[in-house]
Chains A and B, each alone.
Chain A
């Protein structure tokens, strides 16, 4: 079965750029979706199909996907961006989630 791997945690200084990776075999051939989950809340879609932002998501959130790594980039990080982030792909009509990355804004 297909697996995707995320770092357990990423730290970023306030106002700097955070990058969260999602690794998988030839993941660049798949569409990657990213979700933000704050404590006690449901996940929210922040990037879909590698690099598209849903309505209402700030331009500070961007995504890329190539080779074996997809990346969620958060520019000018704010305290409100502290959350868990999950990448997700479909593989043979099955959802595969990464294990999640806890983003800490220092």
Chain B
């Protein structure tokens, strides 16, 4: 079974703090994704990575950065957390080789910025 894990289920941070959200997958997937989910707005793609050290902006990258130093790990970084970044953050991964494959999600991290 594919397993995608996220470092925290719940996180509370203060405005201005630097926040790291970690995601790890155990199936040697090339593609990894970070989404945020907000009521009424659905799932929105923040960043994705095709492979190690490769990243591409999604639909809402402002205020975020990412790091993919190893294939199994994809980190989302909030350089200076703000209250409008309070949200549910979901990581996903998928194998790829030029065709479409099934995407798998982690359990999510509920981040509150106060």
Q: Do A and B come together as binding partners? A: no
